[in-house]
Amino acid sequence: MNEDTNRLIELRREKAQALREQGVNPFPTTVSVTHTTQQLLDLYGEKEAEAIEQIPDRFAIAGRVKGQRDFGNVIFLDIYDRTGRLQVLLSKKLIGPENFQTFKKMADIGDIYAFAGKLMKTRTGELSLAADELTLQCKSMRPLPEKFHGLVDVETRYRQRYLDLIMNPDVVDVFRTRSEIIRLMRVFFSERDFLEVETPMMHPIAGGATARPFVTHHNTLDMDLFLRIAPELYLKRLIVGGLERVFEVNRNFRNEGISTQHNPEFTMLEFYWAYATYEQLMELTEELCCFLAHSLFGKLSFVYQEREIDFARPWKRLRMADAVAEYTDLSVEDLKDAATLKAFCKKHGLEIVGEPTPGKLMVLIFEELVESKLIQPTFIYHFPTEVSPLARRNDENPEVVDRFELYINGNEIANAFNELADPDDQRGRFVAQVEAKKAGDEEAHEYDADYIRALEYGLPPTAGEGIGIDRLVMLLTNSASIRDVILFPQMRKEQS
RNA sequence: AGAUCUGUAGCUCAAUCGGUAGAGCAGCGGACUCUUAAUCCGUUGGUUGGGGGUUCGAGUCCCCCCAGGUCUACCA
């Protein structure tokens, strides 16, 4: 139905107009509030009725009216503020017949009111505010969803998150937890002397990851810019600058598909630690995740989608080659032979593009056949050099880099490595990427000359890591879709 | 991008084989001074996502389009 002709909205408009004519502004400035609903419950919820009656103070709360039980000369209201719910008792006796009548005629579920009065206990023993004063704080023009089933429609929940938040307390909890996780991360890194920084979101060169970027344009400079796909190259410039320990919590933008695991803009924690190695990052990652789980749950295990996830340390560590050997019938020796790997891929229906190296084939097999089986936290390390253009080679085996990814519940949660500090090696890797790009690899890196210049000044031995916050929040809030942990997930345009 | 499912009143859902579009809640009118989805009586509300087709007749069958969910692909 056309929203402009909806009779429920029309009725509320008429009520607002009637209020104006009575001298009541339906959209006033605020009145002072003394307590939240939770404060009152904490202070007086357990007290006996007699004790409550002795309290001479008046209290003022404000919130949305979400429920109403009308008994003629007395009305019970469910008032919700950010902390929870309190019952308000409105009676003709206390507020006077005129106010009482006005409320009955003009108030709707969804309106926001402030109430002041003394506390009381009802016959059922529930702490309630017996209002002797009420002030409309906002006239709501739209009816809320039904009180029992609430708002279920997933599309409406995402498009109108405000309504989702009004109706579904579980959703509020998820976003409170998300906020708490990010707060704890800041505590964790601050305690370890990491400096929080903000680096550009608009990059002249989209670097630091392999992904297709969003392109935008700066009019005055008349230049195309890319929304960042990763902050990595800027954060490492800061390590060159001597900051030594930095972290950033911010959005990355990747012009890729949307799924339960992917949103075009997503939040990444990246941190860089000079004079540390990726082995130390594994330790730090375990510490961080355990700190989060312990802070949230008071223990290290939790259930995700009916599966028990256990953060108890130490976490499993597997070289990628060993992981592939463990989860397939290939041997570590087979992994060096392109022909064997190609045959294996063909047998398992894995699509091969071009003439990949054994390393690339191993990664393909890993991603297709192994990843999803890594349920408990597992570090996979020693990635092939050719898929890791910014990572330092392993000293014993230059074919692999000192890099790991963390998998939990079959999902990549973190990616980390010893940073490549050798500017000539880095230049060579960029050149290889540029050639891959010319050969049609849309996601290959571009050549970043200033980054090479920075490396030429000297990057101390550094390890760096990125942690996908949305996915970690999914795990820790038992959310099945990334859209459930992003307040306003990306949607197509709504039909008018 | 492909496969598949879904879209009916403000919300949550019905509607048998293709045969008069219905309920609960909300709303509106009324009763009620202790309820917790209050209760009771009465009652309004529909271009069935949009467009086209088949048919005597379409919410239902067919085609196109729009939006969403899930899986796959890309990716973190």
A200: tokens are 């550009």
How many Å from the CA of A89 to C1' of B23?
32
How many Å from the CA of A174 to C1' of B44?
39
The pLDDT score that the predictor gives to residue A5 is: 52
Tokens 């998150």 correspond to what residue?
Answer: A161
Question: How far apart (Å, rounded) are the C-alpha atoms in residues A281 and A114?
Answer: 51
- The answer to whether residues A136 and A467 touch, using CB atoms and an 8 Å cutoff, is no
How many Å from the CA of A392 to C1' of B1?
36
Q: Using CA atoms of A436, A441, A447, A451 in order, give the dihedral in degrees to the nearest 10.
A: -110
Q: Which residues of chain A have pLDDT under 50?
A: 1-4
How many Å from the CA of A259 to C1' of B58?
35
Nearest nucleotide from residue A482 CA, by C1' atom: B76
A191: tokens are 């305690």
Q: Provide the residue type at A162 as one letter.
A: Y
How many Å from the CA of A266 to C1' of B6?
28
Q: Residue at minimal CA–C1' distance from B39?
A: A71
Nearest nucleotide from residue A105 CA, by C1' atom: B28
Question: How far apart (Å, rounded) are the C-alpha atoms in residues A430 and A448?
Answer: 8
Protein-covered nucleotides on strand B (Cβ within 7 A): 1, 9-13, 24-29, 31-39, 44-47, 49, 66-76
Q: Residue at minimal CA–C1' distance from B35?
A: A69
Enumerate residues 6+ apart whose C-beta is below 8 A from A228: A199, A200, A201, A202, A203, A206, A208, A213, A252, A253
The pLDDT score that the predictor gives to residue A495 is: 67
How many Å from the CA of A145 to C1' of B44?
19
Please state whether the predicted TM-score (pTM) of the whole model is above 0.90. yes
Provide ipTM, 2 decimals. Answer: 0.93
The pLDDT score that the predictor gives to residue A2 is: 43
Question: How far apart (Å, rounded) are the C-alpha atoms in residues A86 and A304?
Answer: 32
Neighbours of A203 (CB within 10 A): 21
Strand-strand pairing, A195-196 and A245-253? parallel
- b/e code A14-44 from CB counts within 10 Å (16+ = b): ebbeebeeeeeebeeeeeebebbbebbbeeb
Q: Where are the alpha helices (DSSP H) in A138-221?
A: 154-159, 161-167, 169-191
The pLDDT score that the predictor gives to residue A3 is: 46
Q: Where are the alpha helices (DSSP H) in A211-357?
A: 232-240, 278-297, 320-327, 338-347
Q: Residue at minimal CA–C1' distance from B49?
A: A495
The pLDDT score that the predictor gives to residue A493 is: 87
Q: Using CA atoms of A408, A409, A412, A417 in order, give the dihedral in degrees to the nearest 10.
A: 20
